[in-house]
Structure 1
Amino acid sequence: PHWLRDGMLVFDTIYNPENTLLLKDARAHNCKTASGLEMFVRQAALQYERFTQHEAPLDVMRAALRRGISPIN
């Protein structure tokens, strides 16, 4: 898209597929990107930390989400 500029932050809330057309286009224009999967994990991590008073295991959470949304389980 013509409105994408070098250095912009582009965020797509869709988490499946993680690599959306918007994010692909943004990367092609040298934009910084954030996926919906990352938003999902970070929201869950914040809730986990507030309820448990422990640091959230982000890598474990990301892996679990990826397994959960994978077309082959």
Structure 2
Amino acid sequence: MSISTDYFVTGMTCNHCVTSVTEELIAVDGVDAVTIKLAVGGASTVTVTSSTPIDETDVRAAVAEAGYDLVSV
């Protein structure tokens, strides 16, 4: 059974941003897949798929490591 959770990330403007966030999130223990719907100038939707629940603190840290901000979910 997979769990998909949507998060919203600001500051992303291009495919390089998408790649950076994806690389950081996929490195989080338990994350199986990351899909990002880029919204230039707004909050991009980041869908994290995992087999177990992922702590939002870990997601926030990974997004911050990539240089972006996780906004309220």
Larger Rg: 1
Bigger relative contact order, structure 1 or 2, given CA contacts below 8 A and separation 6+? 2
The structure with more strand, counted as a fraction of residues = 2
In the superposition, the TM-score normalised over structure 2's length comes to: 0.32
